[in-house]
Amino acid sequence: MKLVKSIATATLLSAAAAPAMAQDLEITITNLTQGTYFTPIVATAHTGELALFNVGEAASPELQAMAEGGDISGLVSVLSGADADVVENPASGLLAPAMSTTFEMMNSDGNDYLSLSAMILPTNDGFVGLNSWMIPEEAGTYTAYLNAYDAGTEANNELVVEGSGASGVLGIPAAPGGMAGTGGTGVTTEEANMTVHIHRGNLGDDDLTGGKSDINNTVHRWLNPVAKITIVVK
């Protein structure tokens, strides 16, 4: 028999099994996009009092640093200071399109919620996220499909400005895999929604030496979901 559960960003399927004596986890994350990359991932098991982000609320400075430049050190520091269990950069760098990374996590007593995040490149402040998913007590395999979020901290001008990953510096810090354009004039200079929200996706254009965007609309666009996560509760 299968149990069907849901969270805000995914449908979860669990194969019924004997109750687990411990909630040791094996986690696999797969990049489902055609041409975007995930920066180093931070994954954590934590208490219900913590959250990496909240949709409809302003991003924390630590989330902003991750979403604009792929810097997870601030999130790791906050989580470690709160006695969360943390795995950082399990893919040892970028997670390319269609690629997966698998890692182990042992969650301590009371750290009953699982979260993760990573910046999506090339974007201004887009990230893939799982936020405060309650880890089941029942052993089994659980699968979720994850959406892309916009941190709401930077206008999506879609201009590739190498090295612009510092918080508050407008521009996309890198376009891994190439295929980006140059000479764009910018899609926008304003961010109307300054809270964390579902990302609209890259708009892009087909002009690689001009136009409004440096994003290639045949390579760097996506539709949600952008990632798959499989959690084995042992």
Q: Could you tell me how far CA 119 lies from the centroid of its own chain?
A: 6
Give the number of domains in the chain.
1
Whether 201 is covered by a domain: the verdict is no
Whether 36 is covered by a domain: the verdict is yes
Whether 31 is covered by a domain: the verdict is yes
Whether 163 is covered by a domain: the verdict is no
Whether 25 is covered by a domain: the verdict is yes
Name the one residue in this structure whose structure tokens are 């996590």: 105
- pLDDT the model gives residue 124: 97
Q: What is the pLDDT along the chain (234 residues), one digit of tens a residue?
A: 222 233 333 333 333 333 334 479 999 999 999 999 999 999 999 999 999 999 999 999 999 999 999 999 999 999 999 999 999 999 999 999 999 999 999 889 899 999 999 999 999 999 999 999 999 999 999 999 999 999 999 999 999 998 888 888 999 999 999 999 999 999 999 999 999 999 999 999 999 999 999 999 999 999 999 999 999 999
Question: Cβ atoms within 10 A of the Cβ of 75, count?
Answer: 23
Whether 228 is covered by a domain: the verdict is yes
- pLDDT the model gives residue 150: 98
Whether 57 is covered by a domain: the verdict is yes
Q: Which domain holds residue 88?
A: 2-151+223-233
- pLDDT the model gives residue 3: 24
- Neighbouring residues of 188: CB distance < 8 A, sequence distance ≥ 6: 155, 156, 157
- Neighbouring residues of 192: CB distance < 8 A, sequence distance ≥ 6: none
Residues forming beta bridges with residue 11, ordered by sequence position:
6
Buried b or exposed e, range 36-72, using 16+ CB within 10 angstroms: bbbbbbbbbbbeeebebbeeeeebbebbbbbbbbbbb
Whether 209 is covered by a domain: the verdict is no
Q: What CATH number should be reported for the domain holding residue 56?
A: 2.60.40.2130
- pLDDT the model gives residue 21: 41
Tell me the HSE value of 46 on the side-chain side, using a 13 A CA sphere: 25
